[in-house]
Amino acid sequence: MSAQIINGKKTAEELEAVLKSDIAELPSAPGLAIIQVGDDEASTIYVRNKLKAAAAIGINAVLHKFSEDVSQKEIADLIITLNNNKNINGMIVQLPLPAHLNEEELLDLIAPKKDVDGFHPLNIGRLQNGSSKALLAATPKGILYLLEKEKIDLTGKNALIIGCSKIVGRPAGMLLLQHGCTVTFAHIHTQNLPQLVKTADIIIAACGCPQMVKAEWIKEGAVLIDVGINRINGKLCGDIEAAAAEKASFFTPVPGGVGPMTVAMLLQNTYEAYLKQNHK
Using the minimum distance from each CB to ligand GUN, give the nearer residue, 197 or 229. 229
Q: Of 94, 123, 268, 269, which lies in the binding site for ligand GUN, with binding defined by CB under 6 A? A: 94
Q: Of 61, 93, 134, 196, which lies in the binding site for ligand GUN, with binding defined by CB under 6 A? A: 93
Site size for ligand GUN (CB under 6 A): 9
Q: How far is the CB of 46 from ligand GUN (least distance, A)?
A: 6
Other C-beta atoms closer than 10 Å to the C-beta of 175 total 24
Between 148 and 177, how does the x/- string for binding to ligand GUN read (CB under 6 A)? -------------------x----------
CA distance 209 to 207: 6
Residue with the CB atom nearest ligand GUN in the bound state = 95
Residue 82 near ligand GUN by CB under 6 A: no
Q: How far is the CB of 260 from ligand GUN (least distance, A)?
A: 13
CA distance 4 to 222: 11
Between 40 and 79, how does the x/- string for binding to ligand GUN read (CB under 6 A)? ----------------------------------------
DSSP 271: H
Interhelix angle for 258-277 vs 41-56, to 10°? 60
The answer to whether the peptide bond before residue 96 is cis (omega within 30 degrees of 0) is: yes
Burial of 103 (0-12, 13-18, 19+ CB in 10 A): middle
Q: Which of residues 248-267 bind ligand GUN (CB under 6 A)?
A: 262
CA distance 279 to 275: 6
* E strand or H helix at 102: none
Q: Of 138, 175, 225, 267, which lies in the binding site for ligand GUN, with binding defined by CB under 6 A? A: 138
**What's 33-88 look like in SS3?**
EEEEECCCHHHHHHHHHHHHHHHHCCCEEEEEEECCCCCHHHHHHHHHHHHCCCCC
Query: Is 116 within 8 Å of 269 (Cβ atoms)?
Result: yes
CA distance 44 to 39: 6
Q: Of 57, 59, 78, 95, which lies in the binding site for ligand GUN, with binding defined by CB under 6 A? A: 95
Residue 92 near ligand GUN by CB under 6 A: yes
Q: Which of residues 96-135 bind ligand GUN (CB under 6 A)?
A: 117
Residue 12 near ligand GUN by CB under 6 A: no
Q: Would you call 52 a catalytic residue per the annotation?
A: no
Candidate list 114, 115, 117, 247, residue with the active-site label:
117
Interface region with ligand GUN, contact rule CB under 6 A, candidates 78-86, 91-99, 143-151, 231-239? 91-99
Q: Would you call 117 a catalytic residue per the annotation?
A: yes
How do the residues of the chain divide into helix, strand and coil, expressed in percent and rounded to 5? Answer: 45, 20, 40
Residues near ligand GUN, by CB under 6 A: 92-95, 117, 138-139, 167, 262
Active site residues: 50, 94, 117
